[in-house]
Structure 1
Amino acid sequence: MSESAIADFVSSFIPDTATHVEPVRGRVVMSKRRIVLATDDEKTTVPLDGVFDVQHETAPGDLARFFEDTVTIAYERGGDRHVAVVEGGGDTVDRFVTLVFKALLHGTAVYVKHPARRGGRVTDQPFEGGKLGLAPGELVVKGGADASVDLSTVSHFERVDRDVDGSSRQLLSVRHMGATGPITTELALNSGRKMNLLGRYIRLQYTHLKQELKDVDLTDEEIEALVAIYSSGPDASLAAVLGVDASRITMLLNDLIEKELVTDDDGIKLTSLGRAAVSEHIEDVNI
């Protein structure tokens, strides 16, 4: 590859499901323009501008005997559609998936209405143009419009039709947590391919955190504490907010830290998993 590599690792992969029935071992090399799957005998090039779907999930039935998790990349090249499958486990592959989505979506022109709703109330905020960016755990829009979506707090998203600049457009409606409660942000991209990829990226983050939350048991008191931290900020007195003594707060925080829902680095703060738990439960809590 003549351009600089932004990812380079060794893994098992199926370079093309139409021509390979079993995985091979080789290098996965990615630049800002392409992904190359290379073995000693051959190499397969995946042009990023032809990628129309990326999935990171448990291996489907036919591939389960080869892989536990997979990254499936569907793309067009020379007018034909192809599918490549890369072994999907480990931090290296997690970073690779993030880099793929960033290369596909970062800098894309976007129209955003932020917020389109506050709770259940429709706002009069107009659609504004900007550039889409992917930050760790976050969608950001910069330019004419400034907006952000904390992906750990997404509770629902769907495709809807809206009027944008006098014409009907399909867009993504994303419900998430804002600074003072649930809000909805609506996003429209000019490319249908990139709209699909953005929806896939949001679903990937959403599903991953929901799966992690299933393994976390929370008491009602712990949920109230998480919502209080979110609502009141790191400097608030949780004992006063929750109406319990300081020793009980210490026990609660220790339990939440052990469950990786909060951190105590320079003040009590929610982790991404903690913010996801708040998003899941905030409407059930009245504090």
Structure 2
Amino acid sequence: MPESAIADFVTSFIPDTATHVEPVRGRVVMSKRRIVLATEDTSVTIPLPGVFDVQHDSAPRDLAEFFDDTVTVAYERDDEKHVAVIEGAGDTVDKFVTLVFKGLLNGTTVYAKHPARRGGRVTDQSFESGELYVSPGSLALRDDVGTAIDLSTVTHFERVERDLNGSSRPLLSVRHMSDAGAVTTELALDSGRKMNLLGRFIRLRYTHLKQDLKDVTLSTDEVETLVAIYSSGPDASLAAVLGVGASRVTMLLNDLVEKDLVQDSDGVTLTDLGRAAVSEHIEDVNF
């Protein structure tokens, strides 16, 4: 049965940094089992089970003359390690990166303690098993766990050692915002390779949002408005919550829409960047 392509686009890439010094032009084709980098003359196949790292960032100094942004895929094939570098700019490549992580992580068994902490307080919650599914903005923990982590609300994450089923295991500890306030979720996967990839996926989203936030300047009133939207929901009267007039609320919302922090359709809601801004500033606001 032939494999179906779930991504297919033309770009520049270095199919193998060990054999190519400069990029070539060709097609990137991805199925559920492999990525193929094909030129007119040859092709390189990257088996998804062999991928152990994916990075999407500014081009390293030695490649800056060829690329602005790059997607680096490190993988193992025939007991040898290889690295491919793909031009990393544009929405098509953003979607490709998400598809790669989905192919690597979706359906993986995950052990989650949710929440491991509420604020600073340790809970008595035990680890439950489920299946992990990733999307551009979240980690879904299905089955017994039955929750999702909005990656735009992550404020900190780190590797920790915890006891799991009678043995000490490396875990990812993720602090994020929920409807009930700040919580910490601890996650473990059976595969060390997939643990590294999950950490990379969270860091990728976290880093990009933090970088975008550096370009956004917020006044105290704008921060309070964002937190009010987050805390009160789309149907709340912001004028009443903030204690200001309707015209002032309109002006604040217009400014926040321009900054891509708020969207006003079917009620006022936060964008991913807006939720990241709330996570950054919520402890500074007291109503």
CA drift of 1:26 comes to: 0.4
Query: What's the counterpart of residue 35 of structure 2?
Result: 35
The percent of aligned pairs where both chains have the same amino acid is 75
Query: What's the counterpart of residue 263 of structure 2?
Result: 263
Query: What's the counterpart of residue 142 of structure 2?
Result: 142
Instruction: Return the alpha-carbon distance in structure 2 between the equivalents of residues 266 and 102 of structure 1.
Output: 30
Gaps of 5+ in 2: none
Segment of structure 1 superposing worse, 138-147 or 73-82: 138-147
Query: What's the counterpart of residue 81 of structure 2?
Result: 81
Instruction: Return the alpha-carbon distance in structure 1 between the equivalents of residues 51 and 270 of structure 2.
Output: 35
Query: What's the counterpart of residue 219 of structure 1?
Result: 219
Give runs of ≥4 in structure 1 deviating > 2 Å: none
Query: What's the counterpart of residue 187 of structure 1?
Result: 187
Segment of structure 1 superposing worse, 49-58 or 209-218: 209-218
CA drift of 1:147 comes to: 1.7
AA aligned opposite 2:270: L
Aligned length: 287
Query: What's the counterpart of residue 68 of structure 2?
Result: 68
Query: What's the counterpart of residue 163 of structure 1?
Result: 163
Which whole-Å deviations, capped at 9, do the CAs of 1:149-195 have from their partners, x for residues lacking one? 00001110000011111111110000110002111111000000000
Using the size of structure 1 for normalisation, the TM-score is 0.99
Query: What's the counterpart of residue 197 of structure 2?
Result: 197
Instruction: Return the alpha-carbon distance in structure 1 between the equivalents of residues 247 and 62 of structure 2.
Output: 54
Which whole-Å deviations, capped at 9, do the CAs of 1:98-126 have from their partners, x for residues lacking one? 00000000000000011111111111111
Gaps of 5+ in 1: none
Query: What's the counterpart of residue 5 of structure 1?
Result: 5
- Confirm whether residue 22 of structure 1 aligns to residue 51 of structure 2: no
Instruction: Return the alpha-carbon distance in structure 1 between the equivalents of residues 5 and 252 of structure 2.
Output: 46
CA drift of 1:135 comes to: 2.8
CA drift of 1:136 comes to: 3.6
CA drift of 1:245 comes to: 1.1
Instruction: Return the alpha-carbon distance in structure 1 between the equivalents of residues 129 and 154 of structure 2.
Output: 22
